[in-house]
A and B are shown apart, each in its own frame.
Chain A
C-alpha cells in the first residue's frame, strides 16, 4: 500500500543515501588531465571539424596519404603542443586554425588532388597550430602527461572518424555526402575565420 503523505524521515535518509562526493574543482590530477585532454579537441568545434576533414581528405587521396597522414599528424601536432607548453608564440594561431577548417573542408568538397608531399606540408603546417593551441590551453591543475594522452587519443579517433566517413566515397551517394560535408566544414571555417578576424561579434 502506498503512503498517503511523504514521511518526514524517508526524505533526508534518501538524500543521505544518494549523496555523492562533491568535485568543486574540475580538471585535477590524472583523471582531470585525461578528461580535459580528451574533451579539448571534441569541444572545440574548429579543432573537431579540421581533424575530421584531415581524415576524409586522406581517404579521398588514397594510399599512401590514407595511412601516412594519421601516423605523422599526431607527431607533428605534438611538436606544436610543445611550442604551446613552452609559451613560444605562433603568428595568429586562431586565424590559422580557422583557415585550416576552411582549406581542408574546401579540399574535401572539391575532391582536390594534390601530390602527396604537398598534402603532407599543408596538413603538417596546420597540425603545428592545432597542437600549439592544445599545449597552450593545458589546465594548470591537470596532470600534463594525462592531458597529452587524452588529446592525442582524441585527435587520432577524430582522424579515424574522418577516414571512415571518407571511405563512403566509393559509392556515388557517399561521394555526394562526403563532399557536402566538406562544404559544410569549409562554411564553418569561414565563420570561424570571420570571428577570429573580428568580423563577427
Chain B
C-alpha cells in the first residue's frame, strides 16, 4: 500500500473510532454546580415558567421588575432547601399548568400589577420550581454546589429575559412601537394557551 493509501486508512480509522468529547463538567470537582445550572434546562416546564416570569416582569418595566433579580434566585434556594425538608418535591402538573396559564393571562391582559404582588408571584413560583428541582438530588450530590448552580441559572434567566423584554418594549410611548406591546400580549396568550393545554393533558392522564 502506498504512503497515501496508508495515510488515508489512518485518517479513516481515526474518524471511525471518534468518541464524544468530555472535556470537563461531568467528572470535574464542580460537576454538581453545572448539574444544578443545567438541570432546569432539562425540564420544559421550568423553561416556560421562567421565561414567562421574566417576560411578565419586563413588560411591567424595569422599576417594577428589578426586585426579581434578587427575589427569584433566593426563592429557588429556599424551595430547594425547604421542599425535601417538608417532603414536597413537586407541586404537580396541574399546579404547574395553572401557574403557566395565570402568568400568560397576566401578560395577555396587560394587567398592571405592582412590585409587591409581582414579587409574591415570583417567590411562589421560585419555591415551587426549587422544590421540583430538588426532586432529582441524589445522595452523592454536593447540595451546596447544586444550589449555587440553580440559583445562578435562575438569576441569569430572569435577568436576561427581563432585560430583553424591557429593551424590546421600549420606552417611547409613540404609535411606531405600539405593535411591540401587542406582540408581548400575543406572546402571553400563547403562554396561557400552553398552560391550558398542559392542564388538559394533566387531567387526561
Contacts and interface: CB of A to CB of B under 8 A. Distances in A.
Contacts of A149: 44, 48, 194
A166 interface: no
B196 interface: yes
A56 interface: no
B198 A145 contact: yes
Interface string B169-205: 0000000000000100110111011101111110110
A152 B197 contact: yes
Interface string A129-144: 0000001001000011
A121 interface: no
B192 A143 contact: no
Nearest to A148: B197
A45 interface: no
B15 interface: yes
Interface residues of A, number: 35
A153 B190 contact: yes
Contact of B193 (A75, A85, A144): A75
A143 B189 CA distance: 21
Contacts of B9: 9, 13
Interface string B20-58: 000000000000000000000000110010000000000
Interface residues of B, number: 28
B12 A75 contact: no
A78 B186 contact: no
Interface in A112-164: 135, 138, 143-146, 148-149, 152-153, 156
A144 B195 CA distance: 11
Contact of B45 (A13, A79, A145): A145
Interface string A81-112: 11101110000000000000000000000000
A75 B186 contact: no
A32 interface: no
Given A67-B186, A149-B44, A75 B204 contact: no
B108 interface: yes
A41 interface: no
Interface of B: 5, 8-9, 12-13, 15-16, 44-45, 48, 108, 182, 185-186, 188-190, 192-194, 196-201, 203-204
Interface of A: 7, 9-10, 13-14, 16-17, 30, 67, 70-75, 77-79, 81-83, 85-87, 135, 138, 143-146, 148-149, 152-153, 156
